[in-house]
Structure 1
Amino acid sequence: MVQHTLMQIEKRDGSFASFDPAKIIRAISGAFREERGLESTQLLGNSDLARIGEIATRVEQEIEKFNRDSLHVEEVQDLIEKELLREGLYEILRRFILFREDRSRERSLKGGGQRIHVARSDGSETLFRLDEVESKLDRILTGLKGAPKEKIVDAFCKNLYTGIDESGVQDALILAASSLIEEAPEMEYAAARLLLQKIYDEVLEGSEEGYGTLFEKRIQQGVRAGLLDPRLLTFDLKALSQALDPTRDLLFKYHGLKVLYDRYFLHIKEKRIEAPQFFWMRVAMGLALNEEQKEEQAIAFYLNLSNLLFISGTPTLFNSGTVHPQLSSCYLSTVEDDLDHIFKVIADDAKLSKWAGGIGNDWTDVRARGATIKGTNGLTQGIIPFLKVANDTAVAVNQGGKRRGSFCAYIEPWHLDVEEFIELKKNTGDERRRTPDMNTALWVPDLLMKRVNEGKTFTLFNPCEVKDLHTLYGQAFEERYAFYEQEAQEGRIRQHKTVIAEELWRKILTMLFETGHPWITFKDPSNIRSAQRHCGVIRSSNLCTEILLNTSREETAVCNLGSINLSRHVTEEGFDFNGLKQTVRTAIRMLDNVIDINYYPTEEARRSNLKHRPVGLGVMGWQEALFILKVPYESEEAIKLSDTLLETLSYEAIDASCDLAKERGSYSSFAGSMWSKGIVPIDTVKLVAQERGGYLDMDSATSLNWDKLRKKVTLQGMRNCQVMAIAPTATIAQIAGTTQSFEPLYANLYVKSNLSGEFSSINSYLIDDLKRRGLFDSEMIADLKYFDGSVLPIDRIPEDVKQLYKTAFEIGPEWLLMAASKRQKWIDMGQSQNLYIANPSGKALSEMYFKAWRLGLKTTYYLRSKSATQIEKSTLDVNKKGLQPRWMKAKSATSGIEVKRSAQACGLDSSCESCQ
């Protein structure tokens, strides 16, 4: 040890302290730990410790050379920097310099804010005090284990500057907490609490009045401003305010609350007038307007919503209780082969989109290119130019400025324009014949699948020459199709084209892989299993492929959506089926109420919805429920559980609608329906097998007393023509803080983008399991980033943990499809079933879609293949791994070119929010 004549170190405040050589070692060790990614409690390696000792000794030797009674602390730190530079430890030096800057800023803030002045709303300034922020954090973080206050403060200080306003200080603190989510999942709740404080400041305005009293005032304010329906004032607001439970605000994670704040809470001149519980109660009141016991029902609805047991679809959350209560999620319409009707439907789409509806248009009847225009004796340009107009309408009318307009165009694959249709999403070619902002889907008859499987030809027709083909399905379609093929061969049909069925199928799958479109949906099972066969034909699905309803010139089909949060109905012991039953009954009532309260932008939508009264009860949080139960997605247990759960939900939803029919009457087109004949959805599986003549591997086993329910439905009727549909739940799942729909987790660590910004998300269940096993540290976070949120390549993670936390691309597609088949047998409509494939090839894609068809799925949604969308690695030193990260060398398995898929193509965008 160096012998010092220097005994005093001058601090920054002018005081002195005895020189302590150990502080030099601690300072250098801190920079080494930061560079190595180690926590303060973790030990450095022996080689690092030896080198630190050598550097500290040389610093002490340099101090001796000063030969003074005292030395300023900054001079000592300068000597440390000099020695690190001399050693060539540039990254360690960088860490040390940043450490000095951070400490300098923090000292300045703690010292009374000499350098930071905060601008007040009245134009004056005040000195910033960090100790006040730290006290605030102490209060807010109470009860949140693992939320590191020190790291929040460090991150916060980096975002301060002189002249920042009071709101900016709040935002900087929220940003600091949210930036640490990937390091500590508890920060999701910490950041949410900080955002809550901002909301309270904005909505409650520091009032000493109670939460409930201000709720009454904000309802009155909303009515005066013309935002809220005056009928809300007829409620007993005092009784409702007493039912509010502000502690439920703490259920939110940051991302969900941020979405609500940015896009859902009502505001007047950008100032919110809703706190979270005000919002839930406003939605509940809007849904209870027509109830006889409206306060009682509003409170029941509020309990469902505020406890995150069931969340209504986004349009309902946007507009319930407002002066324009457009509460429905999806609209489906048929475009006839008539110029006036084409532009009427496009105009209707604009009106529906304005009020947050997602659009599905059936274009099959519109004649193909080259058909004769009778009025002018010219030739038509086909459907493509009209679809371009529809695409631009979706862009122009972006759902009231709250989210982008979302349309999906459907045609049957025998349409003569199909080969141009499937190329609509390509980013090359004539831009006038492309629709980059609109989704596309094929309404595939079983006959095409059979012809591909059997190696036969397939004939394309101009729909104006085979006018009844679009209205037929099953065996009737196949017989009529064969007749038209014979007519074509004999020259009695002018426009037709014969192709090899497998070659057409290959073109479809190629475009699907390259662009994410067209989606594959199946016409025959959708119609054969429909309860409403007596009322017409299902000609397409909706924007997200889960709604299956009849459409015509006179009727635009409408569906009203909401989803049960399964993760709030499960414990490690299993599902709370009694709780589920009560949630389902309340949810069906809420959904049915939408139909009568709803604002209908078009007469065709009003007519259809009031006549048939369809609702779509869905689910979300399935993956989270499996995490709680410790059941791997890729397991027989999960398949069986999916079957059991959906049977229960189907039974209870039908029973609830049946009881509503007894109370309110059946829907007007009930007579002649499957329901009226005592046929429930599970009974229709055998009808598909009969029509197909095989080609069906769908289970139809049951476990509940369905005979009892069949008799009850026959006697009492049904309030709703359809009751179940599983939508994507992209946004409402984020609001509820759970996983989407029945989706497997995309990654254990990922970044999601929507209109509220980019959000880091980390799987808290995985982190908890790793912590229990002593495996969670900064190196684990780096590994998760490097391997794009996958646990499989990380050697030190045990096998049982790897199996539980497999991500979407690591689960075999056959498991996803088997689970979907078990669900589909119980669902009277459809499900937004994404398909994941890690190593795509033409053969693999074809086998996957054929399996979906054989398993009885009615529709599929996005094809999600590995893309260039990966975890942000800017904070990761990939050189430590000694390898290139995968995103630097991702190649297409088929073409060998770089995979540059759009966010929409890989399914990570927010377009599916239009359902929920």
Structure 2
Amino acid sequence: METSPAPAATLRVIRRDGEASPFDASRISVALTKAFLAAEGDGAAASSRIHHVVAELTAQVEASLRRHATGDAVHLEQIQDLVELALMRGGHHKVARAYVLYREEHAKARETTPPPAAIRVTHPDGELRPLDRERIARVVGEAVAGIADVAAEPVLAEAERNLYDGISADELALALIMAARTLVEREPNYSAVTARLLLDKLRGEALSHLAGEPRQASQAELDYPAYFRGYLRHAIELELVDPELARFDLDKVTAAIRPERDLDFGFLGLQTLYDRYFLHEQGTRFELPQAFFLRVAMGLALREDDREARAVEFYDLLSSFDFMASTPTLFNSGTTRAQLSSCFLTTVEDSLDAIFQSYKNNALLAKYSGGLGNDWTPVRGLGAHIKGTNGTSQGVVPFLKIANDTAVAVNQGGKRKGAACAYLETWHIDVEEFLDLRKNTGDDRRRTHDMNTANWVPDEFLRRVEADAQWTLFSPDETPDLHDLYGNAFAQRYREYEAAADRGEIRVFRRVRAVELWRRMLTMLFETGHPWITFKDPCNLRSPQQHAGVVHSSNLCTEITLNTSADEVAVCNLGSVNLARHVTADGLDTAKLERTVRTAVRMLDNVVDINFYTIPEARRSNLRHRPVGLGLMGYQDALFTLDLPVDSPEAVEFADRSMEHLSYHAIAASAQLAQERGAYETFEGSLWSQGVLPLDSLRLLAEARQGDALDVDSSSTLDWDALREVVRGGMRNSNVMAIAPTATISNICGVGQSIEPLFQNLYVKSNMSGDFTVVNPHLVAALKERGLWDEAMVADLKYFDGSLAQIDRVPADLKRLYATAFEIDSRWLVDAASRRQKWIDQAQSLNLYIAAPSGRKLDELYRYAWRKGLKTTYYLRAKAATSVEKSTLRGTDGKLNAVPAVPTAVPEPEFAACRIDDPDCEACQ
């Protein structure tokens, strides 16, 4: 959790004996000077350079300390940890080693000294009571029970180091959590231990708050049904939860609660829920995990005929981690403001009223956790004539600056950063300035440092690139119909406008070499991570809703492809199947997948009717078309279970077959819902009504490209002919599938996000809940099986930034299976995505990775994605100069590689696309 900086005058240091003294920065300077002296000798200490470095490092440590201090007190060990990290960040490895050895020697000396005989705990009422060591031992014992390769003793010993007389009850609970957390890198199973200790803290917090007095209960002692009734009553009194939930048959729904599922969380998952999802009163959490899942399930079942039975069905799916609803649904389902939708897409019309209305709409949509995609193409470009004032337009960029600031101002109630993505078509006269929006240089009034940007690229442009032909930029006020055209119709009309420009009939236009503009697009993507590359024609030619409008952009994360217009804001309602829970070593469990998908689609369809709409344009659009986006996560975990390397034909085939089954059952579920509830309003005339399924729409794209530039597999294994006949009878939803990033909900479920490859086998995950050591449990299990998991392996993984490639004793088959994202050719990711895309009626958030980018590599990769029929791409991930913080590892040969326990500033490479560990990146939230 974020904390406010402690005021300089009040900061106290808690020593190991429990005594407190005022913070004195000069002590840090002395310690650093001694470390430099020990490492470099007396001569070095006398130099002005050393004095300057010590002063600079002291200032860094003090600033970091004040940023992350809890209340007005810090522990001596925390200060020493920050000193060590500051030395390593500054590249003073030899000095850091001397400092660490000094700490080790003193730690060993302290081990022979018994802890204070009497430690008292300060309780919330201010009373000092003796430390209940028996309860601590019991809590830790319960936390390690049934978990392999963990023990209570190391946790207790580590916690003992941080106890002092007068410690608060909250600090005591935190000491146990942090003690277990420090052991995660050596044994990933301690993540579950840490989660259980956090759960104990949460139980005490929730039960005490509801009772109005201190209460504690073990997991076995907790009466969940009785707790749920009290929790629900209190939440309704606070006007946080819809009173309608109290009218459910509570005996029936609470009987379905599975308390043991509280124990299934990893630390990152439970901490994320604790910080950002659980209901609280002025910061005090009173919602326990199964109450959270049941509240969400009941909220989604409000309008069902047998709502108790459906609530139990939905609860079972969520609490088992087989499926997880999107973050807005989890935040708001069952509450008094049930804004459950994930994504909103808008088109900004070319008038001052429309532009400023779009800012208001963005704010209202973002307020309750919606992600935004704005189509800015209709806004006239720089130099265009303004009839009303007889003036000249400044173009779209100044308006984008305001949109950027609006997104920052509306931060979704502190739960996650407000976020928007601006889209612009490649023929817009302002496209070159648009490319520069995320640069850190130039006029800051024409920069949008916080807003994502994306290119909306027509096929005609890429044909010109491949032909090394000219490309003409226009202002949309003179070429208004280009915005609504795609495929061959766009190409023909575009050429007509070019001819008109040649005749002098177009006032504002500019000619560029297509290849040069393409290179600049890729260069900016390389340097700033933006604008992303998305493809207009595949999104429209394969859209089931061609008869009802035009797809003008995608969304915040490039997986949604829905129509927008002046009077319709597209809305999508998301959730993801956990593929890891549907795979065994024998393959895909298709029967379980079918059950999961049918229930999941029903839940998503319910969102449309229950949803709290903040603007009428969104309500109108969602009720007419009822789009949903069922996706998946845990793809990489599924490959580990199947022993399939990402860069293998077998993995590509699995991507194809698994998505085929998910698609088949999702479409079938929507068709079944149409029989029960009726088809969506604009069904007639859609591709669905013609029996044209996503697989069939590949033909429409192939025809538009005239057989060129399309290399897509069209194989299938299921009975699609039978499904076509069912679909002709009606679909409940205009769109059914989209693969979102799932960054946060995959953390909750403890699996890899979305369709992402493995980032690293050991790294620090940064998000709004803090920094978390992440170790690949699949790899650890494999190494244990071969007798290779030990402290030396941990040190090697740190030293080589989570990669196995240079660790000689790791067998080649494991190196290939657990290869990291930057060690594989991204064309394998494109191949897998291409196979999935043929089954998906929307798109997928596809990140691409490149370890040593070059213009040629980027050009080949993105043209390859286009030829493979992809609709969109997402972030380009480049390798940071330093991926894992380094520090001297205790008990090893001194290789420099520790994972930090505090937020880090990882150095950027000269050119830096978005890093996967960037805590400010929406994909990492």
Q: Give the TM-score of the pair, scaled to structure 1.
A: 0.86
Q: Which whole-Å deviations, capped at 9, do the CAs of 1:690-736 have from their partners, x for residues lacking one?
A: 10111100111111111100011112x00000000000000000000
Match of 1:182 among 178, 181, 185: 185
Conserved? CA contact 1:356–1:914, under 8 Å: no
| Candidates 712, 717, 726, aligned match of 1:698 | 712
Q: Does residue 398 of the first structure (1) align with residue 446 of the second (2)?
A: no
Structure 2 alignment gaps of length 5 or more: 1-96, 209-214, 901-906
After TM superposition, give the deviation of residue 129 of structure 1 in Å: 5.1
SS in structure 2 at match of 1:464: coil
- The 1:884–1:648 alpha-carbon spacing in structure 2 relative to 1, beyond 3 Å, is closer
The 1:420–1:706 alpha-carbon spacing in structure 2 relative to 1, beyond 3 Å, is: same
Q: 1:915 to 1:673 in 2, by over 3 A?
A: farther
Partner of residue 481, structure 1: 494
Query: Deviations for 1:462-497, whole angstroms, at most 9, x for unmatched residues?
Result: 111101001000000000000011111111101110
Task: Look up the equivalent residue of 1:301 and give its one-letter code.
Answer: F
Q: Which amino acid aligns with 1:162?
A: D
Q: 1:436 aligns with which of 443, 449, 455?
A: 449
CA distance in 1, matches of 2:143, 2:744: 26
Q: CA deviation at 1:911?
A: 6.0
In 2, are the aligned partners of 1:867 and 1:900 still within 8 Å (CA)?
A: no
Residues 184-223 of structure 1 correspond to what in structure 2 (within 5 A)?
184-205=187-208, 206=215, 210-223=223-236
Check the 8 A contact 2:795/2:889 in 1, yes or no: yes
Tell me: CA distance 1:498–1:244, structure 2 relative to 1, closer, same or farther (3 Å).
Answer: same
Contact 1:728 1:913 in 2 (8 A): no
Cα contact 1:314–1:913 (8 A) shared by 2: no
Q: Are the counterparts in 1 of residues 534 and 872 from structure 2 also a CA contact under 8 Å?
A: yes
Separation in structure 1 between the aligned mates of residue 924 and residue 499 of structure 2, nearest angstrom: 42
| Alignment partner of 2:121 out of 118, 121, 138 | 118
Match of 2:431 in 1: 418
**Secondary structure, in 3 states, of the residue corresponding to 1:761?**
strand
Aligned partners of 1:907 and 1:600: how far apart in 2? 32
**Inter-CA distance 910–823: structure 2 relative to 1 (3 Å threshold):** farther
Structure 2 CA distance for partners of 1:348 and 1:137, relative to 1, 3 Å: same
- Indicate how the Cα distance of structure 1 residues 334 and 758 shifts in structure 2: closer, same or farther if over 3 A, else same: same
Partners of 2:455 and 2:646 in 1: how far apart?
A: 29
Structure 1 residue aligned with 2:131, among 108, 128, 131?
128
| Residue number in structure 1 paired with 2:47 | none
Note if 1:149 corresponds to 2:149. Answer: no
How many angstroms does 1:90 deviate by? 9.6
Cα offset, 1:572, TM superposition: 1.4
Counterpart contact for 1:727–1:915, Cα < 8 Å:
no
Task: Determine helix, strand or coil for the equivalent of 1:440.
Answer: strand
2:175 is the alignment partner of 1:172: yes
Counterpart for residue 644 of structure 1: 657
**Counterpart of 2:909?**
899
1:870 deviation in Å?
A: 1.1
Change (3 A) 1:676 1:806: same
Match of 1:357, as an amino acid? G
Change (3 A) 1:879 1:704: closer
Distance in 1 separating the partners of 2:503 and 2:99: 83
Give the corresponding residue for 2:391: 378
The one of 332, 345, 361 equivalent to 2:374 is: 361
Do the aligned residues in 1 keep the contact of 2:408 with 2:417 (CA within 8 Å)? yes
2: CA distance, partners of 1:754 / 1:405: 14
Matches of 2:899 and 2:830, distance apart in 1 = 28
Indicate the residue corresponding to 2:564 in structure 1.
Answer: 551
* In 1: Cα distance, 2:133 partner to 2:557 partner: 49
- Is 1:712 matched up with 2:726? yes
2:688 to 675, 682, 687: 675
Structure 2 counterpart of 1:358, one-letter code: G
Question: Would the aligned equivalents of 2:426 and 2:455 in 1 still touch at CA under 8 Å?
Answer: yes
**2:246 matches 1:236:** no
Question: Residue 826 of structure 2 corresponds to which residue in structure 1?
Answer: 813
**Which sits farther off after the overlay, 208-217 or 593-602?**
208-217
Contact 1:868 1:899 in 2 (8 A): yes
Residue of structure 2 in register with 1:618 after alignment: 631
How many residue pairs match? The answer is: 812
Contact kept? 1:330, 1:915, Cα under 8 Å: no
Alignment of 1:35-74 (within 5 A): none
Aligned to 1:73: none
Q: 1:311 aligns with which of 324, 331, 334?
A: 324
The 3 A distance-change label for structure 1 pair 565 and 89 is closer
Partner of 2:342: 329
Deviates more, 1:721-730 or 1:572-581: 572-581
Q: Cα distance 1:913–1:500, how it changes in 2: closer, same or farther (>3 A)?
A: closer
- C-alpha separation in 1, matches of 2:898 and 2:394: 48
Match of 1:534 in 2: 547
TM-score w.r.t. length of structure 2: 0.85
**Contact 1:287/1:593 (8 A) holds in 2:** yes
Q: Could you say if the C-alpha distance between residues 93 and 464 of structure 1 is closer, same or farther in structure 2, counting changes exceeding 3 Å? A: closer
2:909 counterpart letter in structure 1: V
Query: Per-residue CA shift, 1:805-841, capped at 9, x if unaligned?
Result: 0011111111111001000010000000001111110
Relative distance call for 1:227 and 1:879 in structure 2 (3 A) is closer
1:750 corresponds in structure 2 to: 763
| Structure 2 CA distance for partners of 1:128 and 1:610, relative to 1, 3 Å | same
Displacement after TM superposition at 1:92 (Å): 6.3
Q: In the aligned structure 1, how far is the partner of 2:134 from the partner of 2:890? A: 34
Q: Write the mapping of 1:14-29 to structure 2, written as runs, cut at 5 A.
A: none
Superposed displacement of residue 879, structure 1: 11
**Per the alignment, in what secondary structure is the counterpart of residue 255 of structure 2?**
helix
Deviation for aligned residue 1:155 = 2.5
Q: For the residues of structure 2 that align with 1:473 and 1:861, how far apart are their CA atoms?
A: 21
Residues 1:783 and 2:786 are matched in the alignment: no
Q: Which moves more between the two structures, 93-102 or 611-620?
A: 93-102
% same residue: 54
Counterpart for residue 95 of structure 1: 104
One-letter amino acid of the counterpart of residue 158, structure 2:
A
Residues 89 and 396 of structure 1, relative CA distance in 2, 3 Å threshold: closer
Summarize the Cα distance change of 1:640–1:770 in structure 2 as closer, same or farther, 3 Å threshold.
same
- Local SS of the residue matching 2:383: coil
SS of structure 2 residue aligned to 1:428: coil
Taking the aligned partners of 1:156 and 1:915, their CA distance within structure 2 comes to: 31
**Residue 917 of structure 2 aligns to which amino acid in structure 1?**
L
1:845 lines up with 2:855 in the alignment: no
Whether contact under 8 Å (1:634, 1:815) holds in the other structure is yes
Root-mean-square deviation (Å): 2.1
Deviation, structure 1 residue 875: 4.0
2:264 alignment counterpart: 251
- Which residues in structure 2 correspond to 1:816-895 (within 5 Å)? 816-876=829-889, 880=893
Report deviation, 1:872. 2.1
Question: How far apart are 1:127 and its partner, in Å?
Answer: 2.9
SS in structure 2 at match of 1:371: strand
Whether the aligned pair in 1 keeps the contact of 2:471 and 2:512 (CA below 8 Å) is yes
Q: Which of the pair has more CA radius of gyration? A: 1
Distance 1:597 1:93, change over 3 A: closer
Provide the C-alpha distance between the structure 2 equivalents of 1:522 and 1:252, rounded to a whole number of angstroms. Answer: 39
CA distance in 2, matches of 1:511, 1:914: 19
How far apart, CA to CA, are the structure 2 residues paired with 1:664 and 1:687? 31
1:698 aligned counterpart, secondary structure: coil
Distance 1:882 1:609, change over 3 A: closer
Letter in 2 for 1:908: D
Kindly tell me: are residues 528 and 911 of structure 1, through their superposed partners in 2, closer, same or farther at Cα, counting changes over 3 Å?
A: farther
> Which residue is equivalent to 2:115?
108
Rounded to whole Å, the distance in 1 between the matches of 2:261 and 2:895 is 47
The letter of the residue matching 1:696 is L
Q: Structure 2 vs 1, CA of residues 101 and 885 (structure 1 numbering), >3 Å: closer, same or farther?
A: closer
Distance 1:362 1:878, change over 3 A: farther
- CA offset at residue 266 of structure 1? 0.5
Aligned runs of 1:722-761 on 2, under 5 Å? Answer: 722-761=735-774
